[in-house]
Amino acid sequence: MSSILVRAAQADDIDTIHGFILALAEYERLAHEVKADRDMLGRYLFGPRPMAEVLIAEADGSAVGFALFFHNFSTFEGRPGLYLEDLFVLPEARGRGAGKALLARLAALAIDRDCARLEWSVLDWNEPSIAFYRALGARAMDEWTVQRVDGQALVRLAALPS
């Protein structure tokens, strides 16, 4: 079994990142919702004002997983946090420690950056991932539900008088 190397993604990783996003969307049965393309990812991940960061997990020199994350802020804590938007490991690489290595690096980044917490969402049907997260000490925030405004609802909301 090879060791897992976790590194910060670079601009020349765009094709790899895009491939992981497509594979994740397929796994989550959401491939029809992917709008991200390479140009868009390049602009928002590596442009003049990056909006998110990516870690790449490698085994034997090949990318086997990724984590895309960004900072949020807790008003109650008065400190930043890290929000893990997506974590994905190729099916053939699962069980080799890549997911754990990505989460461990995110936890270390959160501590280094004086973040109060590391948070993410998981689909309620994804029992293998839920069990994996519980084994690492994650807890469900069952009293909270995710709310979203997008598409035309977002446009209508933005047009309301302020």
Ordered per-residue pLDDT tens for the chain, 162 residues: 479 999 999 999 999 999 999 999 999 999 999 999 999 999 999 999 999 999 999 999 999 999 999 999 999 999 999 999 999 999 999 999 999 999 999 999 999 999 999 999 999 999 999 999 999 999 999 999 889 999 999 999 999 998
Contact 82, 118 (CB under 8 A): yes
Residue 89's Cβ-count burial label (10 Å; 0-12, 13-18, 19+) is buried
Name the CA radius of gyration of the chain, rounded.
17
Contact 25, 34 (CB under 8 A): yes
| CATH code, residues 4-159 | 3.40.630.30
pTM of the model: 0.93
Exactly one of 27, 44, 83, 133 is catalytic; name it: 133
Q: Catalytic site residue 133?
A: yes
Q: Which amino acid is at 12?
A: D
Give the pLDDT of residue 51.
98
